[in-house]
Amino acid sequence: MLHFPSAIFYGAMSTIMVFSNKYLFSEWNFDCPIFLILVQMFSNLALIFTYNSIDKLSHNLKIDTSLHKIINYDSDNPVVTKLFNLRIFIGLFYSLHSVLSLKALSGLNIPIYIMFKRCTPLVNLILSIFVFKNTETKKRHSKNIIFSILMMTFGVIIASIGDIEFDLYSYIYCGFSVICQAFYLSTIQKYGEINKTNSLQTYYECTIISIPILFVFFIFTNERTQFINDMKPLNDTNFILVFFLVIISGSLLCFSQFWCTLKNNAITTSVLGVLKSLIQTVIGILLIKNADKMSNLTYLGIFINLVFGSLYTYLKYIETESKKDINKSESTSQLIGNGKNNTQENGSCC
């Protein structure tokens, strides 16, 4: 069954982050996404160490902050090697996804940006079957569920075609960010299945791995010098407040997405993102006050996405409940069978 606390927290943090980032980009022409994500990573570490230091919060679940386990690589141990490789991929795909998403958001309005990001469920489905060779995915998702995902993506395409203000580079950034997001969500799920760790520990490990990757990005791009100019509005109180809101919401979003993926699965997390982003789309249309620039195709795409996103959620719920009933029936049958066998064995002994 869907884990509601992780889903609600993920939706709330995502909404706050999207609108605060867009406001930062549009109001002050801030264009340093790598620097922004890098600061968020250090904010993540501060939150993690603060959490560990408060016994009332962490007495049941402490985060292992030792670096040895994270960077441990043993070629003679295939499990350790595989976990190390997965950690690297998680950090790499997360870093690319975050930076590319912010680059896309700076050039697209919120409704179009959110609609384009809804291609993630389809990419996740393809990755699960063809890249990660997860044969259980084919069995786990019925034809109706797969059809719902395809129709949600069809709604995305229709809405994108109706975009009156077309920015090619922003679309390219957004397209690659969707692919990277699908890769790292599926990688997180696979990592959790092998390592059996908690979401907070994975959150910390991803942060540690992402920092050097982002630092390399920062050094070898023009942000190394540009961020000094972009930080000039530091004397503006509103800029400082929005900047810190972006950092905090971004840090909490990292955790919420890991939590949601580990409690559910990559495809469910993506579809939850689709549903909460529908609300963000409506809010975005109202706030930017340019509904007249939204074409009928965009509205049609939103409607199609909403209908089939809701259908997916319903089908997923029915499927989960049916599996529970089957498992209960099988368990009961096994108990009855074992009882008969025990009775026969005891009778023969007598």
Say how far apart CA 171 and CA 190 lie, in whole Å. 29
CB 140 within 8 A of CB 106: no
Give the DSSP letter of residue 196. Answer: -
Host domain of residue 330: 4-339
pLDDT tens sequence across 130-155: 766 655 555 567 788 889 888 988 88
Among 90-104, 209-223, 331-345, the least confident range:
331-345
> Is residue 252 a part of any domain in this protein?
yes
Residue 338: the pLDDT is 55
Q: Is residue 15 part of a domain?
A: yes
146 in any annotated domain: yes
Q: How many domains are contained in the chain?
A: 1
Q: Considering only CA atoms, give the Rg of the chain.
A: 23
> How far, in Å, CA of 148 to CA of 153, rounded?
9
In a domain, 266, yes or no: yes
Mean pLDDT confidence for 83-110: 91
**Whole-structure pTM value:** 0.79
The secondary structure of the chain in percent helix, strand, coil, rounded to multiples of 5, reads 85, 0, 15
Task: Say if 344 falls within a structural domain.
Answer: no
pLDDT interval class at 271 (50, 70, 90): low
What sign has the CA pseudo-torsion 257, 262, 266, 268? negative
Residue 58 lies in a domain: yes
Nearest C-alpha neighbor of 131 from the set 73, 185, 206: 185
**E strand or H helix that includes residue 25:** helix 4-28
